[in-house]
Amino acid sequence: MKNKNKISNKTKNNMNIQNSKFKNKCKLVFEKLKALLANSIYPDNCNCIMCDKEIPSDSKYGLCENCYNKLPFNNQIYCVKCGVPMENEATYCLQCQNNERHFDFVRSCFVYENEIKKLILNLKFHNCKWVAKYFADMLFDCYNLYDLNAELIIPVPISKEREKQRGYNQTKMFAKPLAEKLNIPISIDTILKIKDVSPQTKLSGKQRHENVKGAYKVINDKSVKGKRVLIIDDILTTGSTIDEVAKQLKIAGASAVYGLVLASPKYILLSDNFNDQNVNAIMID
């Protein structure tokens, strides 16, 4: 009887081992199939990320020549302080003329319109994480164009609740590969968003500024003290978010704070009084 039990237990153990191996093989096959499926849905280095046209593997920003030539580069007339594109030849936008800014200056790669706008929103709200590495390439070229000379990179943080809901911080997705390309340290825990605020999209300039007050806190002063810090974000509209982050970094001892963003909407003056100025709901800060 004991021998039978021993044989039975041995058989069960062998079956368990075989089942475990089978499950591992199935898991491996599933992961490979998932990767193949992902590549078929989000082709890498073979199709233009805008028009889906087949392209060479070394194409700039993953774009065909036609789409690249349509990019709305923000390299014409822009506010020398916050970097927003303008349609007049003023040196500063009214927001920067009439309000104290804590950042030294901000630069953006593109005007926030057309296909660039769609790509940013796809990453931000539609889980299109594959586009982040191309954003890093775009920011890399913009950084070198303006010779920003930073010593530390900090992506604008989002609240834990928002990150849990979205599943990721979209800015962190392209800030990390950017830091690697620039060989500059990146910190994702120096400053935190300590409270969730109302969405900025439908707020006036003054409301946006008040909305983000006290929303960020530096928890590691030593990492920024005496350093030139580069804040990374996706979109700058009024600059309220980057300005509040810069304020906290300056209080913590940063010697300079710059901003680098993917895109800025064109500056449109809707009111002579900045405090009462409304911004289009499509603009996201």
Encode pLDDT of 199-250 as tens digits: 545 544 555 555 566 789 999 899 999 999 999 999 998 899 999 999 999 9
pLDDT band of 272, cuts 50, 70, 90 = very low
pTM above 0.85, yes or no: no
User: Is the per-residue pLDDT at 188 higher than 80?
Assistant: yes
Residue 231 three-state SS: strand
Euclidean distance between CA atoms 171 and 48, whole angstroms: 22
Contacts of 182 (CB under 8 A, 6+ apart): 140, 143, 150, 153
* E strand or H helix that includes residue 19: helix 2-41
Tell me what pLDDT residue 275 has.
42
Contacts of 173 (CB under 8 A, 6+ apart): 123, 129, 132, 135
Q: Which of 51-55, 78-82, 86-90 has the lowest mean pLDDT?
A: 86-90
Contacts of 188 (CB under 8 A, 6+ apart): 154, 155, 157, 172
Nearest to 82 by CA among 61, 58, 99: 99
pLDDT (average), residues 168-190: 96
Tell me what pLDDT residue 36 has.
45
Euclidean distance between CA atoms 60 and 49, whole angstroms: 11
Tokens of 164: 């849990």
Helices (H) and strands (E) in the chain, counts: 9, 6
User: Is the per-residue pLDDT at 100 higher than 50?
Assistant: yes
Euclidean distance between CA atoms 37 and 53, whole angstroms: 19
Q: Which of 171-180, 251-260, 261-270 has the lowest mean pLDDT?
A: 261-270
Distance from the Cα of residue 12 to its chain's centroid: 52
pLDDT band of 15, cuts 50, 70, 90 = low
Tokens of 245: 């982050």
Tokens of 128: 């299109």
The phi and psi torsions of 9 (rounded to 5 degrees) equal -65, -40
User: What's the mean per-residue pLDDT of the chain?
Assistant: 82
Using an 8 Å Cβ cutoff, are 79 and 97 in contact? Answer: no
DSSP class of residue 78 equals B
pLDDT (average), residues 34-47: 53
* Residues forming beta bridges with residue 217, ordered by sequence position: 192
Distance from the Cα of residue 195 to its chain's centroid: 19
Using an 8 Å Cβ cutoff, are 155 and 205 in contact? Answer: no
User: Is the per-residue pLDDT at 53 higher than 90?
Assistant: yes
Using an 8 Å Cβ cutoff, are 111 and 103 in contact? Answer: no
Tell me what pLDDT residue 27 has.
56
